[in-house]
Amino acid sequence: MNNKVGLSTLIFSSIGSIIGSGWLFGPAHAAAIAGPAAIFSWLLATFVISIIALNLVEISTTTPNKMSGMGYYLRYTHGALASFLIEWSILLSFISVVPSEATASTQYLSDLNFSWTHALFNYQLQILTSSGLLFASGLCIIYFLINYYSLKFLANSINAITLFKISVPIIVIISFLLVSFHSGNFHAIGDHSLTPYGISSIFTATTTAGLVYAFNGFQNPISFAAEAKNPKRNIPLAIIGSILICTIIYVLLQYVYLVSMPQHVLLTHGWNNLSFSSPFASLALLLNINLIALLIYTDAFISPAGTGLIFTAISARVLVGLAEHMPRVIGKVDKQSGLPKIHLIIVLLASFIALWLLPSWNKLVSIVSVAFVISYAMVTVCTSSFRKLSPEKVHDQVIHIPFMHILSPLGFILATFMLYWSRWPLNGEVIILVLIGLPIYLYYAKKQNEPILLNVKKSLWIIIYLVVVALFSYIGSSSFGGMNLIPDKIDHIILAILALIFFYWGRSLSYKTQEYIDEIESKRNSA
C-alpha cells in the first residue's frame, strides 16, 4: 500500500502539466479579444473542461491502458475509422503543441536587451523571424534528443521543472498586486463596460486566445489509475481539483494583468492593440520590477521546455495508435528500449512543418485548441455509448460519475459551441485538416481488408457533424466570422438542437466492436 500514489501527488502531477506557456500569453491574448470580460472566458473554459474531464474519467477506467490517445476509446464503440479520425485530430493538436512551446520560449527571449534576441521576433507582424524560427527549431531538436536518448533524464527533468513553473506564476501575482493596482482599468475602454468588445468576445476568447490550450494536461492523473489509492474517489478529485486550482491561478493572472496595466498605456492603445512580445515580462519592466521580469524570462524558457518535452513524448505515443493505418515503418517500436523512437523522428519533422507554416504562438495555439475541442466532443459520445453497451460496470475499478446522462450531452453541446466560437474560417480550416485523415484511413484499411463499409457506416455521423459545423459557422452570426444568415441567439438555439441530434445519432450507432469483445467483455466474463 505504501507504493500507492496519493491524492496530493495526483493533483501535483496534473497541475504541473497544466501550467505551461498558457499563463505566459493566455491572459494577454484573452484581454486583447474580450477586454476585462476575459475573466469570464476563463470561468467558461473551466466549466466546459470540467465536464469533459468527468466524461474522460469514466471512460478511461472502463477501457484497458494503451499506448495511444483518447481517440482510441472510439475503437471499442464505433470502430477503426471513428477512432482514426479523432486520433488524427489529437495528433494534429499534439504536434502543434511542441512547436508552440518552443515558439513561446523564443518569443519571450526576443524581448531581452540583446541585439541577437531582438532579431528573433518581428514586432510589427507579431511572428518569428527566420533566425527566430531556427532558434525555435533548435529547441524542438533538444526536446527530441532528450526523449530519444534518455527517458530517465526526461522524468527527472519534468519533476524539477514542475516545482519551478508552479511557483513562478504565484510570485508574479503577488508582486504585481503589490506594485500596481488600477481598478479603473475595468471600465476605461470603449463603452466603459466590462465587455467593450461585445459579449461574443467572451466566447471567442475561450478557444482562440489559448484558454482551452492552457488547461491541456488535466487528464494526467488517469495514467496513474492502477497505482492510485482509492482511485474511485481520488482520480476524479485530482482532475477536478487540479482544474479548479489552476483556474484560480489563471483568473488571478488575468486579474493582475488587467489591473496592473499602466493607465496611460491602456488609454493610448486599448486592450486590443497592446502588442507585447512577452506580455508579463514587458509589463514587469514597465512597472520597474526588474527582478520579477528576469524571473519571468527564466520561466519562459524553462516552463515551455517542460511541456515541450512531455508532448514530444505523448505525440509519439499517439502516433503508435495510428500505426496500422500508416506506412509500415510507423508501426515499429524500438525493441531494446520499448520506446517509439521512429515516431519521435516523425513528430520532430512534423513540428518543423507546423512551426515554419505558423510562426507565432497564437496561430499555433488556435489550431491546437480547435483540434482538442473536436476530440473532447467525441469523448462525451463515447462515454454515453459505453453506458448503453454496458449498463452494469464491467469491473470493480470502473468509476461511474453521477448524472452522466446529463453531463455527456451537455458536454457535447458545449464542445460544439466552442467549435463555433472559434470563428470562421479557423474552425473550417481545422475541420478540413481533420477530414484529410479520411483518405489516409481508407487507403490502408483497403490494403488490410478491413470492413470498410461497416466502419464508414458507424463513423458517418462524425464526418457529417464536422461538415455541418463548418457550414453552420460559415452562414452563422457575424459575431463569430459568419455571413450572418443566422443571427445571434437564434444561432445557439439551432446549434444546440443540431448537437443533440448528432449526439444521439452517434450513440445509437455504437456497438460492441471486436476490440470491445476481446479486450473488455472477455475480461469481464472471465472475472
Q: Which residue has the higher pLDDT, 253 or 98?
A: 253
Question: Which tens digits make up the pLDDT trace of 253-288?
Answer: 999 999 999 998 999 888 988 878 789 999 999 999
pLDDT class of 212 with cuts at 50, 70, 90: confident
Q: Which helix (H) or strand (E) holds 121?
A: strand 121-122
- CA atoms of 386 and 57, how far apart (whole Å): 13
Give backbone dihedrals phi and psi of 507, rounded to 5 degrees, phi first. -65, -40
Q: What is the pLDDT of residue 384?
A: 94
Range 304-328 average pLDDT: 71
- By three-state DSSP, how is residue 128 classified? strand
- For residue 474, pLDDT beyond 80: yes
What is the pLDDT averaged over residues 487-508? 95
Give dist(CA 464, CA 454) in Å, integer. 16
Q: Which residue type occupies 391?
A: P
Q: What is the pTM of this model?
A: 0.85
* Domain coordinates in residue numbering, the chain: 7-526
Would you state the pLDDT for residue 396?
A: 60
Q: Kindly state the average pLDDT of the residues 340-360.
A: 84
Per-residue pLDDT reduced to its tens digit, 15-34: 877 887 789 889 999 999 99
Q: Which of 207-221, 285-299, 306-320 has the highest mean pLDDT?
A: 285-299
Overall average pLDDT of the 439-462 stretch: 91
Single out the residue of 97, 91, 102, 86 nearest to residue 18, CA to CA. 97
Phi and psi at residue 276, in whole multiples of 5°?
A: -80, 130
Least confident of 225-239, 249-263, 350-364, 448-462: 225-239
Segment 116-123 mean pLDDT: 88
Q: Answer whether 386's CB lies under 8 Å from 512's CB.
A: no
| Cβ partners under 8 Å of residue 401, min gap 6 | 54, 55, 57, 58, 236, 407
SS3 content of the chain, % helix, strand, coil (to 5): 75, 0, 25
* 356 backbone dihedrals φ, ψ, rounded to 5°: -75, -25
Q: Which residue has the higher pLDDT, 45 or 397?
A: 45
The secondary structure of 415-441 as a DSSP string is: HHHHHHHT-TTHHHHHHHHHHTHHHHH
Phi, psi of 121 (to 5 degrees): -140, 135
Give Cα 267 to chain centroid, integer Å: 33
Per the model's pLDDT, the better-predicted residue between 354 and 233 turns out to be 354
Convert the pLDDT of each residue in 69-87 to its tens digit.
677 789 899 999 999 999 8
CATH of 7-526, one of 3.20.20.70, 1.10.150.120, 1.20.1740.10, 3.40.1160.10: 1.20.1740.10
> For residue 466, what pLDDT is reported?
97
Residue 348 grid coordinates: 520532430
- Confidence (pLDDT) at 192: 80
Gap between the Cα atoms of 98 and 113, Å rounded? 26
d(CA 324, CA 99): 26
487 touches 435 (CB < 8 A): no
Q: Is the pLDDT of residue 517 over 50?
A: yes
**Residue that wins the pLDDT comparison between 351 and 220:** 351
Q: Tell me the sheet residues that pair with 67.
A: none
- The per-residue pLDDT for 1 is 44
Bridge-partner residues for 125, per DSSP? none
Residues 6+ apart with CB under 8 A from 40: 34, 202
pLDDT at residue 42 in the model: 96
- The reported pLDDT for the residue numbered 67 is 44
Q: Please say whether the beta carbons of 254 and 42 come within 8 A.
A: yes
Report which secondary-structure segment, H or E, holds 122.
Answer: strand 121-122
So what's the pLDDT on residue 163? 78
Q: pLDDT confidence of 369, banded at 50, 70, 90?
A: confident
**264/1: higher pLDDT:** 264
- Spell 338-373 as b/e; 16+ CB within 10 A means b: ebbbbbbebbbebbbebbeebbbbbbbbbbbbbbbb
Beta-carbon contacts of 322 under 8 Å, excluding residues fewer than 6 positions away, are: 68, 84, 87, 88, 91, 330
